[in-house]
Structures are given as structure tokens and as C-alpha cells.
Structure 1
């Protein structure tokens, strides 16, 4: 993540408006959005990968699925692929990702993607982004979420997407 990264400003449907927004310049304008993409990686064992945000980030030392903002000209899917590679060192192909759902937030469109990997490969974390990553049962994700251990924005995301996510994890493992 760089402070000079640029995001496409979109409408509520995710269509770019032609305006760019620089990370760190405050929120996108009211009524506009930027795309945030995240990936739930499901191992063939049925466990999922969670990452602990680095100490220097917003929501330090809170859990999440690897996530970040899509950059200028980047689709949600491509942003999800890039973030997954940058944060935990996993490379996936576009067709490896399936959309779980979208949450319309105050100024962001949050897309949760899901992918499956064979076994439980060891993540290679970027220490500027991620303190640690581990494979856990989905019930453990739920427990951590309910205990307030996930980054704040995940509360509304899980409120809207949890049932669908749980079903999709069962389908792909």
C-alpha cells in the first residue's frame, strides 16, 4: 500500500465516473464510492485463511480476510487477486475466484470473493500489511468476529454476507 495509490471513483453500481481519488486524501466524495476487494481462501481441508493486520495499519492487530482497495483501472476481481498475492503470497487465476457478495458501505463497495486451494499452503506475509496469517475453521472466524477480534468494518460485512459465505465455503472445499 502506498499513499500515492489512485482509486477509480465509482457510482453505487461500481461504474467508474472518470474521477480518480488519491489514497490518503480523505474519504471519497459523498455519494461516491471506491471498490474494496477481499478473498476468503478455502483449503481442501475446509479451513480458511485469516490474516492479522500489521501494527502500523488502520485497525491494527485485528483479523480479516486479505483485502484492499482496487487501483485505478483495476476490476474488483483483479484487485482481489493482487491483494491476495501482496498480502499472503498466493497467486490465483481470474477464473479461480467466485463472488460471494457485495456490501454497499458509506463510501466503499466491498466485494468478498472466494477461492479454493489444495492443502494448506504456507502464506508468505508482507510484514508492512500483515502481522501473521493462519488457517482456521470457519467456526473460529465466527467466534473471533463475535468477540470483536475482526477489524471494525467486518461487522457489517459479516452481518450481510455470513450465511452466504458459510454456504459457499461448504460448496468449494
Structure 2
């Protein structure tokens, strides 16, 4: 594995590493294999949640989403969620403090979705190559953007499946 390449563990349908790795962008994804993706919904004390807008040069440019990305080889989805949140927004969330809401199975990926609770005074620092903007919105605004087609395309199926569990977690007192 050379520096600069992004390597992912290939996991089975249950999320268990198979012992094989894959270089991002390489041809011929192994049939039946998956890689882990993790995303985080950060909720402030006022109930609003953080959405990020994908940068112009990214796939699904300008779409709104929750911060997240692929787990690197040897990294758990919980640690990947924490790392991706920090890289994309500058916000820190301890992996142990992330609440797993659910898993969504895609063609070649397993998305683990987490909720993190945060205080009112948060300073977001964007990773310009990944994120062009952020907004703190009411959970109902996530639903509105989803219905309007403003969420990045992969989020339609993800949120249609996971939103009831996410919404329930957001209404609980931590």
C-alpha cells in the first residue's frame, strides 16, 4: 500500500473483514464484497442538525448530506465516522460517544449511521475539497430537502430507510 492511496477493507454482508483490501478507484470491485461507510448526524442542544454541502469537484456536487465517508483499511466504522466528521467539519466527536442508529446496505457498501450530541457553541471549519457549505437545520428541513431532491443522490434511499430511526433518536433526551 503506497502513501496517497486510499485502501479499504473488504467486508462481508455482516461487516466482518474478509482479510482482503481494495484500493479506491481500482477496477473490478470483488463480487459479493462490501466496504464500510460511516456518517454522523450532529445534533445541537437546540435540536438542529448539521448538514454539509458537497464541493463542486465531488461526485454528486452541490448535494446536501450528513458528514461521512469510507472507513480506511483497519479502521472501524465508528472511528471512521469520528475521523470523517473532524476532517470535513473540524468538529470532534469521540468514537465512544457516537450512537449507532442503523446500517443501510448498498450494492457494494454498508453505511453505518451515527448520531452525536453537541453543545451550542460549535465552530465549523470546512475541508474545502470536500465541503462547500454547512447549515444547522431543523430535522424537518432534512425531510424537505430530501423531497425537493436537494440531498446528494445516495441519501434518498439511505434516508427513506433510516429516517424513522434517526428521527426517533433525535427526539430522545440523551
**TM-score band w.r.t. shorter chain:** over 0.9
Q: Provide Cα deviations, 1:81-140, integer angstroms capped at 9, x if missing partner.
A: 000000000111122101010001110000100000010512101000100111000001
* Distance of aligned partners of 1:18 and 1:63 in 2 relative to their CA distance in 1, 3 Å threshold: same
Residue in 2 aligned with 1:129?
A: 130
Task: Provide the aligned length of Structure 1 versus Structure 2.
Answer: 172
- The runs of 5 or more residues in structure 1 that have no matched partner are none
- The runs of 5 or more residues in structure 2 that have no matched partner are none
Q: 1:120, 1:135 within 8 Å by CA — same for their partners in 2?
A: no
Residue in 2 aligned with 1:171?
A: 172
State how far apart, in whole Å, the 2-side matches of 1:43 and 1:27 are.
41
| Deviation, structure 1 residue 29 | 1.6
User: SS where residue 46 of structure 2 aligns?
Assistant: coil
State how far apart, in whole Å, the 1-side matches of 2:27 and 2:69 are.
16
User: SS where residue 90 of structure 1 aligns?
Assistant: coil
Q: Which moved more, 1:117-126 or 1:26-35?
A: 26-35
User: SS where residue 161 of structure 2 aligns?
Assistant: helix
Residue in 1 aligned with 2:144?
A: 143
Q: Provide Cα deviations, 1:44-82, integer angstroms capped at 9, x if missing partner.
A: 000000000011111001000001000000000000000
Residue in 2 aligned with 1:50?
A: 51
The CA RMSD measured in Å over matched residues stands at: 1.4
Q: Provide Cα deviations, 1:30-52, integer angstroms capped at 9, x if missing partner.
A: 21100000000000000000000
TM-score, structure 2 length as denominator? Answer: 0.95
Runs of 4+ that moved beyond 2 A: none
Residue in 1 aligned with 2:11?
A: 10
Q: 2:91, 2:123 within 8 Å by CA — same for their partners in 1?
A: no
User: SS where residue 111 of structure 2 aligns?
Assistant: strand
TM-score, structure 1 length as denominator? Answer: 0.95
